[in-house]
Structure 1
Amino acid sequence: MENIANTLVEVAKVLAHNETLVASNTETGKMHFQCHSHPIALIAENMSLSEIDEYGDPGNWSYNGNKSGSPAPATSSDAPAGTLKVYERWSSEYGDILEGHYFRYLDGSIDNIKISEAT
């Protein structure tokens, strides 16, 4: 029981640092967990200057959490097995509510990042 409590403490630490915990099935059938930093740095790297002018500096955004139902398995026919579609909500430095969406692959990398005003 102590091992379970220690594991839950470690999971809480991960979530408190805005990291995503990804579980994948290994060849042994056991679950393997990987921690990935929150993709805000990758989102910022992929924003155009006009997007930064419109939405502000991502370093000044506040994370509001995942949109209901997110993450969810990607349904695109060209998405590799295990790919997740992630929708997140942010408050910009201007007070606008933004939505970010992207694909997260099993290796933790992300792709197809899009930022828009929340609907």
Structure 2
Amino acid sequence: MVKDNHVVAAGGVVRAFEAVRATYPDLHVVVEVTDLEQLRELLVAGCTWVLLDNMDAATMTAAVALNAELTQGRATLEASGGLTIERAREVAATGVDYISVGALTHSVKVFDLGLDLRG
């Protein structure tokens, strides 16, 4: 996965994507974007899986339309960043392919369960 720090280190989102592809041509690469311009650049460069990070519903809807326009919807779009179960329906309505809800793991409430063996 190419994240924001990789993009900064490489000097741009396409440079980061192409660096990974050049080094590992058979590797499935997921690239994180924060705006539609980064998405456009990646789709033109041939990226097939993009993580839409911290976007509002209107921007995600525009991202889905851009993907349809540039690739006929061949790239997979995954929504992530600050999403909650409560927003899942709203995000799904944008047309993204996948939704990642980190709250399922990082905000879980602890349940203390013991399975003590007794002899």
TM-score range for the pair, normalised by the shorter chain length: under 0.3
Instruction: Give TM-score, length-normalised by structure 2.
Output: 0.22
Structure with the higher helix share, 1 or 2: 2
Larger Rg: 1 or 2? 2
